[in-house]
Amino acid sequence: MNSVYIHIPFCLAKCHYCGFNSQPLGQPAGLKNYFRALAREIAGRRAEIKDIKTIYFGGGTPTIASAALIGKVLNELRPWPSDAELTIEANPGTVTLEKLKALREMGFNRLSLGVQSFNDDRLKQIGRVHTARQAVKAFELGAKAGFANIGLDLIYALPGQSLGDWKNDLAKALSLEPRHLSLYSLTYEENTEFRRQKAEGRIIPCGEELEADMYLEAVDRLDRAGLKRYEISNFARKGYCSRHNINYWRAGDYLGFGAGAHSHRGGKRWSNVKNSERYVRSINNGKSPAGFRETISPEQQRFEALFLGLRMAAGIEIKSYQRRFGRSPLEHKPQVWLRWKERGWAEWDGRNLRLTPQGLLLADGLAVELA
């Protein structure tokens, strides 16, 4: 087990589109108790973690906590090899130079900034707590603190957003020269403010055609700027792909800590209870915080490895899939692969099976055919 995820479920406020396991921060004491529980949960499983390759602090907003609290949890994972990838997600409204310097000094070498847009009206519309100016400042502070690897997240297909608005966001993002960009189209998740507004007819979602145009514009623009698409929503300069996330897309094993965090190992999957108070109580009472467990059938494992692997531009390595599952991915519904090949959606050689750029646009629909 060499990939570790730590979940911090607190934010300054809930964004209008957010379907993640996150909640506005109540009492600061709650944060301290939560971090203490996290450290205890990790200490209890530390022996299972060997030869760390990636550590990822996500949320929520990890940087809502002080560097000292984050450092105490990170210390539970020491030591790790010098080439390990240590990522922390940050909301631009929660960072200072001192905090970023401290995070860099304790070992984080990858900073993922949740910028979402460089347009203040859009930021207000989606409920972000920061301005475009703060986002730029956070990037500059990250660089000053010594982060050579800074990535940005952006959202598109927002209600009322035009292709021109999106082009401006892309241009601003590229002007900062990030090493990595994650681009997510807005989805109307259950129990979100946006879902309610949509149901009440208060917002009109962006049309599918415009959404596709925005995506294709980004793929082209980023490619010309040297940020290559390596997964449907993720783009990076050479050598800066997220190793942590690639492990997910390769259906690798990982251990998750914290409220709602998922783990996956050897055909089993489990997740902790989502509620942060219940999570802390379980840990303090010496009980397992796991709220859900399942054994993944061999057939489901094969399908997940296909479905996730095809999200990546490189696709699936045929031989390693064969080693793992005892047969070629092309033996899984061969008639489907042949049809996709004829239509120009999939291609393969002796080494890799992958979706074409056109196929990547249709990936979710294509996965249904494989299921």
- Kindly list the residues in this chain that would bind ligand SF4 in the complex (CB under 6 A): 11, 14-15, 18, 20, 22, 59-61, 91, 114
Query: DSSP per residue over 263-301, as a string?
Result: EEETTEEEEE-S-HHHHHHHHHTT---EEEEEEPPHHHH
To ligand SF4, the closest distance from the beta carbon of 351 in angstroms equals 38
To ligand SF4, the closest distance from the beta carbon of 116 in angstroms equals 8
Of 14 and 228, the one with the shorter C-beta distance to ligand SF4 is 14
249 and 197 in contact (C-beta within 8 Å)?
A: no
Question: SS3 of 19, please?
Answer: coil
Q: What are 165's two structure tokens?
A: 């608005």
To ligand SF4, the closest distance from the beta carbon of 311 in angstroms equals 21
Residue length, the chain? 371
Of 44 and 127, the one with the shorter C-beta distance to ligand SF4 is 127
Using the structure block, give the residue that is written with the tokens 């061969």: 334
To ligand SF4, the closest distance from the beta carbon of 4 in angstroms equals 19
Q: What are 240's two structure tokens?
A: 């800066």
Of 61 and 234, the one with the shorter C-beta distance to ligand SF4 is 61
To ligand SF4, the closest distance from the beta carbon of 301 in angstroms equals 29
Of 14 and 281, the one with the shorter C-beta distance to ligand SF4 is 14
Of 184 and 325, the one with the shorter C-beta distance to ligand SF4 is 184
DSSP element (H, E) containing 10:
strand 10-11
Distances (CA, A) of 308 to 255, 283, 302, 369, 370: 18, 32, 10, 14, 12
To ligand SF4, the closest distance from the beta carbon of 319 in angstroms equals 38
C-alpha 31/C-alpha 46 separation (Å) is 22
Handedness of CA 188, 194, 199, 205 (dihedral sign): negative
Of 127 and 146, the one with the shorter C-beta distance to ligand SF4 is 127
C-alpha 368/C-alpha 364 separation (Å) is 7
> Quick one: which of 2, 105, 112, 114 has its CA closest to 55?
2
Task: Report the alpha-carbon angle 252-254-260, nearest 5.
Answer: 125
Of 142 and 309, the one with the shorter C-beta distance to ligand SF4 is 142
Q: What are 188's two structure tokens?
A: 């109307």
To ligand SF4, the closest distance from the beta carbon of 90 in angstroms equals 10
C-alpha 357/C-alpha 199 separation (Å) is 33
Of 22 and 149, the one with the shorter C-beta distance to ligand SF4 is 22
To ligand SF4, the closest distance from the beta carbon of 148 in angstroms equals 24
DSSP element (H, E) containing 68:
helix 67-75
Q: 348: which strand partners?
A: 353
Of 142 and 315, the one with the shorter C-beta distance to ligand SF4 is 142
To ligand SF4, the closest distance from the beta carbon of 130 in angstroms equals 9
To ligand SF4, the closest distance from the beta carbon of 10 in angstroms equals 8
Query: DSSP per residue over 115-148, as a string?
Result: EE-S-HHHHHHTT-SS-HHHHHHHHHHHHHTT-S
Question: SS3 of 183, please?
Answer: strand
Of 127 and 291, the one with the shorter C-beta distance to ligand SF4 is 127
> Quick one: which of 62, 87, 55, 56 has its CA closest to 9?
62
